[in-house]
Chain A
Amino acid sequence: MNQELALKYQAFIDGELSESEARRLAQVLENDADARALVAELRNSKAMFTGNEPEVKLPESREFYWGKIQRQIECLEREPAGDATGRWRAMLAGWRRFVAPLAGVAVITFLGMVAVRFYNPEPVDYLAEIENLSEDSTAYSFRSGNMFVVWTRDTEMTSDDSQVNFIDYNEAVAQ
């Protein structure tokens, strides 16, 4: 008899099988003497426990046993429920569980951003002089995010005559 079938017989006597399974197994049992012997043994083993739990007496007197319990209860109740330091510590301990992993994520994100900016071959913000073939004017460009600023100045003009154009970078690229 395999282990699986033996465990099914056990479940059968423990009432853990469905009705249909129990009926099927009962039919199998009728034709299997070894299985019937095993089931009889399991039933006897189960039956001997009914009402026969070993009796054990507590080896301490009522007063002594209760005295220890009472002292423990009083000790626990002496710890003031409204202790501010205790509550603060408990709160901190609770928060620490969430704050620590969040802090870790924040640090990793920050380091990631720094690495991206450091290794980014195309910095978002820069100020550069645009190549200019004219000797009569000077132009500078500055880019920040999606904004592209071009500042042109006639070499003979004063700073008051310079012209600033704000260009939306994405629109300019689309054109």
Chain B
Amino acid sequence: MATQHDNSSVSDEKLVKAAQRGDMPAFEELVARHRDKIYARAFSMMRSEEDAVDLSQEAWVKGWQRLKQFQGDSSFVTWMTRIVINLCLDQLRKQKRQRSESIESLEEESGGVERQMPTVVINPTEGLERRELRQRIDKAMGQLSYEHRTVLILHEFEELEYKEIAKRMECSIGTVMSRLFYARRKMANLMASYKREEMS
């Protein structure tokens, strides 16, 4: 017989409803189930373990405070992901104000650099096992600027449209398109260079 706090077999929907009534153990179960995903999103954006842990925890606290506003229009983890993304975007804006622009990011922002990159004609991911592919993607994304990595994450992993990305990043749709274009071309060239290194 299930104990009062044995929530491991309870669905997310029921746990959310219980948590909305103030059931803290139900919320703890939700945290346990989805903490890696929320942390992973924060880490992919911040590229810092410490920042990602802090922001993901802050997201969970905010999630608890706003739980009554969750209507079930999306899944609970999607809703939580949006919260952590917004926190990361706020943090990145704060850091950008403090951070001096690197030459690379200025070149990226001014545009035109991607036109000098040769077109990658082969598929640089062909023949790679999933685990290795993910590792290379992670390595390549680490070499992008915050803005380019963010637009890539929001488009490719969160599957947001240009308009929605522009709203979240507080920039124009044109800027989103330019950043995404640069990020994709840079990723393609980086993945191709990793393949060349492997073969040499």
Residues of A within 8 A of B28 (CB): 66, 70
Interface class of chain A by DSSP: helix
Residues of B within 8 A of A38 (CB): 119
Partner-contacting stretch, out of B36-44, B68-76, B92-100: B36-44
State the Cβ distance, A18 to closest chain B Cβ, in Å.
Answer: 13
- For window 27-67 of chain A, which residues contact chain B by CB distance below 8 Å? 34, 37-38, 40-42, 44-60, 62, 65-66
- Compute how far the CA of A76 lies from the CA of B181 in the bound complex, rounded to whole angstroms: 43
A69 within 8 A of B: yes
How many chain B residues have a CB neighbour from A under 8 Å? 50
B170 within 8 A of A: no
State the Cβ distance, A75 to closest chain B Cβ, in Å.
Answer: 9
- Name B184's contact: one of A42, A50, A54, A76 (CB within 8 Å): A42
Contact: A56 with B40, CB < 8 Å? Answer: yes
Contact: A52 with B56, CB < 8 Å? Answer: no
- Name A65's contact: one of B57, B111, B134 (CB within 8 Å): B57
- Compute how far the CA of A48 lies from the CA of B190 in the bound complex, rounded to whole angstroms: 13
A78 within 8 A of B: no
A68 within 8 A of B: yes
A14 within 8 A of B: yes
A3 within 8 A of B: yes
Partner-contacting stretch, out of A5-13, A104-112, A165-173: A5-13
- Compute how far the CA of A40 lies from the CA of B40 in the bound complex, rounded to whole angstroms: 29
Contact: A14 with B57, CB < 8 Å? Answer: no
Residues of A within 8 A of B49 (CB): 59
B17 within 8 A of A: no
Contact: A59 with B53, CB < 8 Å? Answer: yes
Contact: A76 with B162, CB < 8 Å? Answer: no
Contact: A56 with B121, CB < 8 Å? Answer: no
- For window 121-137 of chain B, which residues contact chain A by CB distance below 8 Å? 121, 123-125, 130, 133-135, 137
A16 within 8 A of B: yes
- Compute how far the CA of A59 lies from the CA of B36 in the bound complex, rounded to whole angstroms: 9
Contact: B60 with A52, CB < 8 Å? Answer: no
A interface, CB within 8 angstroms of B: 3, 6-7, 10-11, 14, 16, 34, 37-38, 40-42, 44-60, 62, 65-66, 68-70, 72-73, 76
B interface, CB within 8 angstroms of A: 24, 28, 31-32, 35-36, 39-40, 43-44, 49, 53, 56-57, 60-61, 64-65, 111-112, 115, 119-121, 123-125, 130, 133-135, 137-138, 141, 152, 155-157, 161-162, 174, 177-178, 180-181, 184-185, 187-188, 191
Q: List 21 A-B contacts (CB under 8 A).
A: A7-B177, A14-B155, A37-B119, A42-B184, A42-B188, A44-B120, A44-B123, A44-B124, A44-B125, A48-B124, A48-B187, A49-B157, A52-B130, A52-B137, A54-B138, A54-B141, A55-B134, A56-B36, A58-B35, A73-B24, A73-B61
